[in-house]
Copies of this chain bind each other. A is one copy, B any other.
Amino acid sequence: MIKSPYKINKNFSKLNPFSKKNLLNIYHKLYFSRFVEEVIQNEYPNQQMKTPTHLGIGQEAISVGVCLNLKKKDAIFSHHRSHLPYISSDGSIYKLFCELLGKKNGSSGGKGGSVHLCSRSNGFYGSTAILGQAIGLAAGAGLAFKLKKKKNISVAFFGNSSLEEGLSFETLNFCSLKNIPTLFVYENNFYSTEMPNYKGDMKNFNPQKIVKGLGIKYLKVDGNNISDVFFKSKYAIDYIKKNSRPVFIEFITYRWLEHCGPYYDYALKRYYRTKKEVMYWKKFCPVASFKKFLIKKGFNKDISLLEKKINKKVNLIYKKALKSKKPILKDLQTNV
């Protein structure tokens, strides 16, 4: 069984100086991400969202924590598990639902599906379905910022397999060589599809040594702890801006659901990991653990209000999306 190298809920105390409003804002983002994904999870079996969908439930703290430190003009790219970074960068939920439902009002007019989201005005430049591309594209956006002498940074969200592709190696070497202001967000969730990385494909693979061997600053962070994610990525982003150098962060996290689709693996009798393991990791839930911290602070009521509000709002938006129009013949050949 794969265990976390960190203790549960290690520490949120660094967030103590934050105002109540700020703290609730963070929780808002975490819970909102979770709930949107849960709506998709629940609706997916109805066969209305006909597009391969990779849910991020369990990994919310990473995108929320990183994106809290970004500016609207920074550039974000993501791999296939794209919903969370899209949501965290304030991409429209209506457009997300529409995209999944194949509607004209989707973020990509229905042409892209779950793996091709974008919200350019929010800095979410795009997600793609081919492993590694997000890494190269983000580096390219960073190169553009550098050439344009802008102070912005670019960010790539990606997982284990993307890192294995030669593309990532080439890109990291380039970014190191050319001083590209890019943050590499490596979501290490211990699995690629149904392969446990640490037994399988990445058995001898040491990201820290490799990344450092390319001259790039490397950090390892508990990806389920919003406080850690927030402060470490803040540090990284400051570092990038100050030194115009890339930074690579390995976030430890865990995906609860199956690789592609809405179910728990154990419910489908897939045996590449045990129910016990999933249950173990649920104890590291980034949303619940932070909620506990806030409840200890006495924000009980605010939280349940906030949750109810989100639930209602998101459900309404989903219904609206269901009713919105499908793209038709005249849309087929536009924007080629």
Q: Which residues of A contact B (CB under 8 A)?
A: 164-170, 173, 176-177, 201, 203-216
Contacts and interface: CB of A to CB of B under 8 A. Distances in A.
A173 B160 CA distance: 13
Contact of A214 (B166, B167, B210): B210
A204 B173 contact: yes
Q: A-B pairs with the 4 shortest C-beta distances?
A: A166-B166, A204-B215, A209-B213, A210-B213
Nearest to A211: B213
Contacts of A201: 173, 177
Given A206-B215, A214-B206, A215-B206, A165 B170 contact: yes
- Taken together, the copies of this chain in the complex come to 2
A87 to B, nearest CB: 31
DSSP class of A's interface residues: helix, strand, loop or mixed?
helix
Contacts of A167: 166
A213 to B, nearest CB: 3
Nearest to A208: B213
A17 B213 CA distance: 39
A282 to B, nearest CB: 30
Contact of A206 (B165, B168, B169, B213): B213
A203 B245 CA distance: 14
25 contacts: A164-B170, A165-B166, A165-B170, A166-B167, A166-B168, A166-B170, A169-B169, A173-B201, A173-B204, A173-B205, A177-B201, A177-B204, A204-B215, A204-B216, A205-B214, A205-B215, A206-B213, A207-B213, A209-B209, A209-B210, A209-B212, A209-B213, A210-B213, A212-B213, A213-B213
Contacts of A210: 209-210, 213-214
A93 to B, nearest CB: 36
Contacts of A209: 209-210, 212-213
Contacts of A173: 164, 201, 204-205
A165 B167 CA distance: 9
A82 to B, nearest CB: 23
A213 B209 CA distance: 5
**Most chain-B Cβ atoms within 10 A of its Cβ — which of A204, A205, A207, A214?**
A204
Contacts of A165: 166, 170
A177 to B, nearest CB: 6
A12 B194 CA distance: 54
**Most chain-B Cβ atoms within 10 A of its Cβ — which of A165, A166, A176?**
A166
A168 to B, nearest CB: 8
A215 B210 CA distance: 10
A216 B205 CA distance: 10
Given A166-B167, A173-B201, 18 more contacts: A164-B170, A164-B173, A165-B170, A166-B170, A169-B169, A169-B170, A176-B205, A203-B215, A205-B213, A206-B213, A209-B209, A209-B210, A209-B212, A210-B213, A210-B214, A211-B213, A212-B213, A213-B213
